[in-house]
Amino acid sequence: MKQQLYLITFLLIFLSLFSCKKDPNRHLNLGNWYLQKGLLDEAIIEYREVSRLYSDNQSELTRDEFQALGKAHFKLAIAYTKKGWWDYALDEAKRSFEILPTKDSHELVGLIESKIEQGLNL
């Protein structure tokens, strides 16, 4: 079973290196898969790649591309919370809300701020 997991992980990494180079949606989907499987470091790399690929031309992004970028920052915030990196998570949640102001991203900002505040008051 472990060998199969390692093989699948290797294949996904191999495919991501060669098939995702210029496709942010593939990175977003791969990041979602990694996050679902608990592979946080790999998920973070994929979500950051989405952000990097869209960083040069944000003024020219389509609506769908803005949604993908906002989702990448939202999921990156979630991945950071799972690692306990609250300040990074807050930055990403705020960035997600700036790009894609949804109820979910607004609530995530509030939850992370609350968690940070609780940690400081303990």
CA distance linking residue 26 with residue 76, whole number of Å: 15
Q: Which amino acid is present at 4?
A: Q
Helix (H) or strand (E) holding 87: helix 86-99
In this predicted structure, what is the pLDDT of residue 74?
98
CA distance linking residue 76 with residue 119, whole number of Å: 21
In this predicted structure, what is the pLDDT of residue 21?
54
| DSSP conformation class of 58 | G
pLDDT above 90 coverage of the chain, percent? 69
| Candidates 3.60.20.10, 1.25.40.10, 2.60.40.10, 1.10.3430.10; CATH matching 2-121 | 1.25.40.10
User: Per residue in 8-28, is it b (16+ CB within 10 Å) or e — as a string?
Assistant: eeeebeeebeeebeeebebbb
The domain spans of the chain are 2-121
The more confident residue out of 85 and 18 is 85
